[in-house]
Amino acid sequence: MARFNYGGQALIEGVLMRGRDAIAVAVRHPDGDVVWEAERLSDSIVHRHRAAGWPFVRGLVVLYETLVVGTKWLTRSAAISAAGEGVELGGGVVALTLTISLVFGIALFFVLPLFLTQAAASAATGVGTLGKNLLEGAIRLVVFVAYLLLISRSGEIKRVFQYHGAEHMSIHALEHGDPLTPEKVRQYPTAHQRCGTEFLLVVVIVSILAFSLLAGQGLVAAILGRLALIPVIVAVSYEVLRWGAKHRSQPLVRWIFMPGIWLQSITTRQPDDSMIEVAIVSLEEALRADGEAIPEGSVHPARRTMAQADAETRAAREAAEREASLVAAGVPGREPEPRDEEPLA
């Protein structure tokens, strides 16, 4: 069994698995095959620094991976799913996507609850500092859950949540030493104690305590202070989540973190076998990149690299374009196929 705590992220028709030394991505290609690619973490300056594994620093590294690396692969998986070719996106496109996502997330989950709390406190009397902090935290939690419920109504997001479930289930199987097969993987729940959804819930709770330091500040100072405290909240929340996952066997700890498991009933769904196969490919390639043994008895779904898939797709497209140009030029033997004419009314 692998010694490293593997984690992952659901993509568009795919799964990203984060290992000790590399990440591996597997996506269901439009032609039905699974395509994959691995990326060394050491290629990033963030991971080359020895401080990347320090407590309260590693949480910021995970945040970087989720925002930068995750956004890049989420966008690329969408390109593969839509066009069949893993187009390499420029840094500008990824940066723009990331910026828009950050601005939207901060505005929705940090600034909006502050405005609503200020408005509620102005309309009511006798609301103290503690009451404002609790009210803001409650509003932030409601906004977060409402957002998840809203996006979960989308058909595409439902499929992403199914891949999210497949990611968790395959990691459960690995952690229990089971072979990576659809039959074994399906025995496990879609929720996992190290899930990003649970992490975000911890962030909401920790933010109530952190933002209490900004009591009595004006609106502008309160907004700037909240932005400055986000990295601190992330770092502390990640350590809290790791501690909770490590001691989850204790009844009290399990009870305290149970809301995070409940919340995953929104962000994870039961996957079908084809989705589980994608998660297995991603996890196997992450294990292989780390030099870890794949559990004995595991299946090895058919796969090819994204580079191979891209080359084949381009070749097929170029052949189709050449054929179309020959037909348009009236080259002998390249006449268009006759079409059945509909009778006139």
Give residue 243's pLDDT. Answer: 95
Q: Each residue of 3-37: pLDDT tens digit?
A: 689 999 999 999 999 999 899 999 999 999 999 99
Give residue 15's pLDDT. Answer: 98
Token duo for residue 180: 């990576």
For the entire predicted model, the pTM comes to 0.88
* Residue type (1 letter), 149: L
The alpha carbons of the chain give a radius of gyration, in whole angstroms, of: 24
Judged against a pLDDT cut of 80, whether residue 41 lies above it is answered with: yes
Half-sphere exposure of 47 (CA within 13 A, CB side): 17
Residues with Cβ within 8 Å of 83's Cβ and at least 6 positions away in sequence, in order, are: 30
Give residue 345's pLDDT. Answer: 42
- Alpha-carbon distance of 39 to 41, in angstroms, equals 6
Cβ–Cβ under 8 Å, residues 24 and 171:
no
- Alpha-carbon distance of 221 to 219, in angstroms, equals 6
Token duo for residue 254: 């399990």
Cβ–Cβ under 8 Å, residues 204 and 145:
no
List for the chain the helix, strand, coil content (%; round to 5).
65, 10, 30
Judged against a pLDDT cut of 80, whether residue 54 lies above it is answered with: yes
Q: Cα(first)–Cα(last) distance of the chain, in Å?
A: 71
Give residue 224's pLDDT. Answer: 93
Residues with Cβ within 8 Å of 182's Cβ and at least 6 positions away in sequence, in order, are: 273, 276, 277, 280, 299
Range scoring the smallest mean pLDDT among 76-80, 94-98, 224-228, 332-336: 332-336
Please compute the mean of the pLDDT values over residues 295-320 and round it to a whole number: 91
- Alpha-carbon distance of 182 to 97, in angstroms, equals 34
Q: Each residue of 231-267: pLDDT tens digit?
A: 999 999 999 999 999 999 999 999 999 999 999 999 9
20: exposed, middle or buried (Cβ count in 10 Å: 0-12, 13-18, 19+): middle
Judged against a pLDDT cut of 80, whether residue 342 lies above it is answered with: no
Average model confidence (pLDDT) across the chain: 89
Residue environment code for 50-61, b if the CB has 16+ CB neighbours within 10 A, otherwise e: eebeeeeebbbb
Q: Each residue of 61-108: pLDDT tens digit?
A: 888 888 888 888 998 998 898 876 655 555 677 678 888 988 999 999
Give residue 282's pLDDT. Answer: 98
